[in-house]
């Protein structure tokens, strides 16, 4: 580096003004360094050093002769501190050529003397005092001035033995000088600062743990009054106080804060303020989100899950979840919530693109979309799924399977007016019994009298959106029906009359044989669908497992659709009705009086069907109620899950993955359906069809697997990515495709816990970070990384 020292030239005389004016340097005369004999050697060195320091280029190689300098340690140290003489000046020409500045960049040892217009070797000049090198003065004292061969000379010198030796000595000298500087420095100060930094990290680590605990439990951090005189300063500060009773680090920290406040000295960084709490929450959220983003990038493909809900402050919140396949494991990770003004397809599209960009996710890597069946989500033309597929055709839309099952139950419950009336009455009975504390207490007493020593079972409200959850309400009704009838009879016969007497009599009369029969029909069916609904909402569910769950439901419904099974249900309903003094119908409804069919219509098929006669009441309810209920449910399951009669290209593609996982399809004779499935997938995803067939045959002939999860395990244990690349890609896509939006629904449950009436002013970013901590509990916290993120968020007065 060129020297930056500015010479005080007023006190230096020179007789070479012309040369100095051309080179920009000042060359002192011999008289400047002549010292009296009274000066000892040390004073002479001090005088020379002061003279050199006043020059513009103190390390100019010619100063050795000019000042008659001996190569002592002080001079060498000064030169090493300043560096080689590399001035940035107009270099004078000799024979039409001159020194070039760019030579410095490739040769750090090269230096130029503006006084002598020559180039020298810095390391050789200072560190070659050996006897065998004294005769080689071209690069040390004489210098090189022939610029036409300068590059060749530089190249030859850099590879010479003497130069390499000097460079090694120069580097060793620098290391020793640096080590000496460290030894001279205040070691104790460094140790004190390091101890302080370590203590601060220990304090912050404990506060991070407390923050994680409160966030994962969905608890509030701050209190209404956090002053010193407050009895409750909020969960965060109160927890710090509790832990300080058992932890010396927190105890000393709080004592130090109290001492500083008492002495009114400079403010002490407490890390307990609301800003510090928010920064710790933000640092934790940033760390977890980065870990999720890292896994998604490693997976190289993902699907998005989206749904919206209203929070307690009446804001429309969109929950954003990403599904991906990482290390042969399906993961669904919550990312954040985002507030939207409207929920149109256009607005949701803009929101999705903003979230993808914010989290570093590329649209081309999206392979699936999972939403509910709302028009703004699933619309074929202007829905969100259609807008996303306009940018990426391979981002297939999957209607949430749990929602599909819910719609199946809705359609089946509309199959007969009897079921509509039944569910309406069940809801009214719940409202009647639970709407009054007196009636509720009376119902509890009747239950205790009927089931002494057993736990009281509360009536359950029917869910308008989660029909699969109605199983609990039906089971409670089935167990408590006698107690309910006793309550209604008691209120109806009360004297003096009760205000609810009229309602009680109305509900008592409405509970007839048809009500009991509907209860006995729907309860076992809803028990099956409730199990299926719970299975469809499991974390990490894949399509293969979902199809097996639905196949199990279909098989159960097929088993239940028999005259023998209905005979059992009908006898049970009849026995219960008789025990409750409820009459059992003996005449088929509508057949109390036979109507005479005109002669001209007696041979008509339509009339014969309409006027079909049932041989018994049981046959009427079996065909008109029970079988109709099961048939509609079976048909809806096939239509919504198997894709019957839909002709949807998306359904064909998704269903084509399943034959790839069936072991029997690839062992033995070729299966035409499996071959067709391979063709559909390879055509859509652009894979080699022959390669995939070969890999499937080899895999299934080498390994035996029952389901998709076993395939995951086999591929992970046998490094399947190297052996079966095409098959692994298909499996990865199949696992990445969404099945349900249950993870999104679970985030809404956490949203209601975290953003409640007492915390309705929580900001959007803070809310997302708190939800992330509460939902993604399995992400391991790296304290050092979190502390580094916290440190970089803003300038800190505390050493970290």
The pLDDT tens digits of the residues spanning 258-295 come to 888 888 766 678 889 899 999 999 999 999 999 999 99
Q: Cα(638)–Cα(644) distance, rounded to whole angstroms?
A: 6
Residues 253 and 336 both lie in one domain: no
Residues 363 and 226 both lie in one domain: no
In 3-state terms, the chain is what percent helix, strand and coil (to 5)? 60, 5, 30
The answer to whether residue 594 is domain-embedded is no
The pLDDT tens digits of the residues spanning 378-434 come to 888 899 999 999 999 999 999 999 999 999 998 998 888 999 999 999 999 999 998
pLDDT at residue number 617: 87
Residues 501 and 630 both lie in one domain: yes
Q: Does residue 647 register a pLDDT over 60?
A: no
Q: Cα(710)–Cα(299) distance, rounded to whole angstroms?
A: 19
The pLDDT tens digits of the residues spanning 725-734 come to 999 999 999 9
The answer to whether residue 195 is domain-embedded is yes
735, containing H or E segment: helix 725-736
C-beta of residue 378 within 8 angstroms of C-beta of residue 371: yes
Residues 167 and 220 both lie in one domain: no
Residues 100 and 118 both lie in one domain: yes
pLDDT at residue number 267: 66
Q: Cα(229)–Cα(367) distance, rounded to whole angstroms?
A: 57
**Mean pLDDT in residue range 523-548:** 92
Q: Does residue 38 register a pLDDT over 50?
A: no
Site of tokens 């923050």:
211
pLDDT at residue number 259: 86
**C-alpha dihedral over 336, 340, 345, 346, to 10 degrees?**
-110
pLDDT at residue number 758: 86
Residues 147 and 185 both lie in one domain: no
pLDDT cut 90: percent of the chain above it: 52
Closest CA to 765 of 282, 214, 273: 282
**Mean pLDDT in residue range 199-215:** 95
Q: Cα(742)–Cα(739) distance, rounded to whole angstroms?
A: 9
Q: Does residue 609 register a pLDDT over 70?
A: no
Q: Cα(6)–Cα(25) distance, rounded to whole angstroms?
A: 11
The pLDDT tens digits of the residues spanning 687-707 come to 999 999 999 999 999 998 888
Residues 390 and 247 both lie in one domain: no
Residues 580 and 537 both lie in one domain: yes
**Mean pLDDT in residue range 288-314:** 94
pLDDT at residue number 493: 87
pLDDT at residue number 46: 80
Closest CA to 390 of 343, 349, 348, 347: 349
Q: Does residue 611 register a pLDDT over 50?
A: no
**Mean pLDDT in residue range 649-656:** 88
**Mean pLDDT in residue range 36-59:** 74
Residues 282 and 333 both lie in one domain: yes
Q: Report residue 186's pLDDT band, with 50, 70 and 90 as the boundaries.
A: low
The answer to whether residue 606 is domain-embedded is no
Compute how many other C-beta atoms are within 10 angstroms of the C-beta atom of residue 180. 11
pLDDT at residue number 18: 35
The answer to whether residue 33 is domain-embedded is no
Say which residues have a Cβ less than 8 Å from residue 646's Cβ, sequence separation at least 6: 639
Q: Cα(628)–Cα(633) distance, rounded to whole angstroms?
A: 8
C-beta of residue 252 within 8 angstroms of C-beta of residue 202: no
The pLDDT tens digits of the residues spanning 316-362 come to 999 999 999 998 899 999 999 999 999 999 999 999 999 999 999 99
The answer to whether residue 71 is domain-embedded is yes
Q: Cα(540)–Cα(332) distance, rounded to whole angstroms?
A: 7
Residues 395 and 425 both lie in one domain: no
Residue at a domain's end among 220, 250, 272: 272
pLDDT at residue number 182: 64
Out of 111-115, 459-463, 566-570, pick the least confident: 459-463
Tokens, residue 129: 């005092």
Q: Cα(291)–Cα(192) distance, rounded to whole angstroms?
A: 34
Q: Does residue 604 register a pLDDT over 80?
A: no
The answer to whether residue 20 is domain-embedded is no
**Mean pLDDT in residue range 542-547:** 92
Q: Does residue 36 register a pLDDT over 80?
A: no
Q: Does residue 238 register a pLDDT over 90?
A: yes
pLDDT at residue number 201: 93
Q: Cα(318)–Cα(339) distance, rounded to whole angstroms?
A: 6
pLDDT cut 70: percent of the chain above it: 90
Q: Does residue 785 register a pLDDT over 90?
A: yes
The answer to whether residue 689 is domain-embedded is yes
Q: Report residue 28's pLDDT band, with 50, 70 and 90 as the boundaries.
A: very low
Number of domains in the chain: 5
DSSP, collapsed to helix, strand or coil, labels residue 305 as: strand
Helix ranges restricted to H, 359-469? 375-378, 384-391, 401-413, 417-434, 437-450
**Mean pLDDT in residue range 538-567:** 93
Residues 583 and 527 both lie in one domain: yes
**Mean pLDDT in residue range 760-767:** 90
pLDDT at residue number 229: 84
Helix ranges restricted to H, 435-512? 437-450, 470-492, 501-510
pLDDT at residue number 174: 83
The answer to whether residue 690 is domain-embedded is yes
Residue at a domain's end among 175, 198, 231: 175
Tokens, residue 169: 């000595």
Out of 69-83, 297-311, 606-620, pick the least confident: 606-620
Residues 305 and 260 both lie in one domain: no
Q: Report residue 593's pLDDT band, with 50, 70 and 90 as the boundaries.
A: low
Question: Domain residues for 146?
Answer: 51-175
Q: Cα(243)–Cα(247) distance, rounded to whole angstroms?
A: 6
The pLDDT tens digits of the residues spanning 434-458 come to 888 999 999 999 999 999 988 888 8
Q: Does residue 168 register a pLDDT over 80?
A: yes
C-beta of residue 361 within 8 angstroms of C-beta of residue 791: no
Q: Cα(572)–Cα(772) distance, rounded to whole angstroms?
A: 50
pLDDT at residue number 30: 37
Cα Rg of the chain (Å, integer): 44
Q: Report residue 591's pLDDT band, with 50, 70 and 90 as the boundaries.
A: low
b/e code 130-167 from CB counts within 10 Å (16+ = b): eeebeeeeebbbebbeebeebeeebeebeeeebbebbb
pLDDT at residue number 774: 95
Q: Does residue 584 register a pLDDT over 50?
A: yes
Residue at a domain's end among 605, 636, 667: 636
The CA distances from residue 789 to 279, 282, 284, 343, in Å, are 9, 9, 8, 34
Q: Mean pLDDT, the chain, as a whole number?
A: 86
């Amino acid at each position: 580096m060129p020297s930056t020292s500015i010479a005080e030239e007023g006190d230096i005389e020179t007789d070479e003004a012309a040369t100095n004016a051309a080179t920009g340097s000042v060359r002192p005369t011999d008289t400047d360094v002549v010292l009296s004999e009274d000066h000892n050697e040390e004073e002479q060195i001090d005088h020379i050093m002061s003279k050199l320091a006043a020059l513009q280029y103190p390390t100019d190689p010619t100063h050795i002769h000019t000042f008659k300098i001996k190569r002592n340690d002080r001079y060498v140290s000064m030169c090493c501190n300043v560096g080689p003489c590399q001035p940035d000046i107009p270099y004078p020409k000799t024979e039409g050529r001159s020194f070039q500045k760019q030579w410095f960049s490739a040769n750090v040892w090269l230096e130029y003397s503006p006084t002598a217009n020559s180039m020298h070797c810095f390391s050789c000049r200072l560190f070659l005092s050996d006897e065998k090198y004294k005769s080689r003065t071209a690069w040390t004292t004489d210098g090189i001035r022939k610029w036409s061969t300068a590059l060749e000379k530089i190249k030859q010198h850099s590879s010479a033995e003497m130069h390499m030796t000097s460079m090694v000595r120069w580097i060793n000298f620098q290391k020793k000088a640096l080590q000496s500087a460290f030894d001279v420095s205040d070691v104790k100060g460094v140790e004190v600062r390091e101890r302080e930094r370590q203590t601060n990290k220990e304090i912050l680590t404990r506060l991070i743990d407390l923050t994680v605990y409160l966030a994962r439990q969905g608890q509030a951090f701050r209190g209404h009054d956090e002053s010193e005189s407050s009895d409750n300063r909020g969960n965060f500060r109160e927890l710090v106080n509790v832990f300080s009773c058992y932890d010396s680090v927190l105890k000393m920290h709080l004592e130090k804060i109290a001492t500083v406040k008492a002495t009114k000295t400079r403010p002490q960084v407490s890390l307990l303020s609301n800003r510090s709490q928010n920064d710790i929450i933000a640092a934790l959220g940033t760390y977890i989100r980065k870990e999720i983003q890292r896994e998604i990038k490693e997976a190289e493909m993902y699907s998005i899950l989206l749904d919206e809900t209203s929070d307690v402050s009446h804001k429309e919140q969109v929950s954003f979840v990403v599904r991906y396949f990482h290390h042969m494991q399906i993961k669904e990770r919550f990312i954040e919530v985002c507030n939207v003004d409207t929920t149109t397809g256009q607005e949701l599209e803009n929101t999705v693109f903003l979230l993808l960009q914010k989290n570093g996710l590329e649209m081309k890597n999206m392979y699936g979309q999972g939403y509910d069946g709302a028009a703004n989500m699933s619309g074929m033309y202007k829905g969100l799924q259609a807008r996303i597929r306009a940018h990426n055709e391979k981002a297939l839309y999957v209607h949430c399977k749990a929602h599909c099952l819910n719609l199946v139950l809705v359609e089946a419950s509309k199959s007969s007016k009897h079921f509509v009336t039944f569910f309406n009455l069940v809801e009214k009975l719940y409202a009647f019994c639970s709407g009054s504390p007196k009636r509720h207490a009376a119902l509890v007493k009747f239950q205790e009298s009927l089931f002494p020593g057993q736990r009281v079972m509360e009536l359950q409200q029917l869910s308008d959106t989660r029909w699969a959850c109605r199983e609990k309400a039906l089971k409670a009704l089935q167990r408590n029906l006698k107690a309910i009838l006793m309550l209604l009879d008691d209120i109806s016969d009360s004297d003096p009359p009760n205000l609810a007497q009229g309602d009680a009599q109305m509900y008592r009369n409405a509970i007839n044989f048809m009500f009991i029969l509907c209860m006995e029909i729907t309860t076992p069916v809803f028990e099956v669908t409730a199990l299926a609904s719970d299975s469809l909402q499991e974390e990490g569910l894949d399509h293969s497992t979902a199809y097996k769950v639905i196949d199990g439901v279909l098989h159960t419904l097929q088993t239940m659709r028999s005259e023998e099974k209905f005979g059992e249900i009908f006898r049970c309903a009849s026995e219960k009705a008789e025990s409750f003094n409820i009459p059992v119908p003996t005449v088929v409804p509508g057949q109390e009086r036979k109507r005479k069919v005109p002669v001209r219509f007696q041979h008509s098929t339509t009339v014969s069907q309409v006027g079909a006669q049932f041989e018994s009441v049981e046959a009427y309810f079996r065909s008109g109620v029970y079988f109709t209920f099961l048939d509609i449910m079976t048909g809806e399951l096939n239509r919504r899950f198997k894709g019957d009669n839909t002709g949807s290209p998306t359904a064909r593609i998704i269903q084509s993955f399943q034959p790839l996982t069936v072991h029997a399809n690839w062992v033995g004779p070729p299966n035409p359906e499996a071959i067709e499935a391979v063709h559909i997938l390879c055509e859509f995803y652009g894979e080699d069809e022959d390669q995939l067939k070969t890999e499937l045959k080899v895999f299934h002939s080498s390994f035996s697997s029952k389901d998709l999860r076993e395939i995951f395990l086999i591929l992970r244990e046998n490094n399947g990515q190297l052996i079966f690349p095409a098959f692994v890609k298909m499996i990865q896509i199949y696992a990445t495709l969404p099945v349900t939006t249950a993870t999104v629904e679970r985030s809404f449950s956490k949203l209601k816990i975290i953003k409640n009436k007492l915390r309705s002013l929580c900001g959007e970013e803070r809310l997302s970070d708190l939800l992330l901590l509460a939902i993604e509990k399995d992400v391991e916290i790296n304290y050092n990384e979190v502390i580094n993120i916290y440190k970089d968020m803003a300038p800190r007065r505390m050493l970290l």
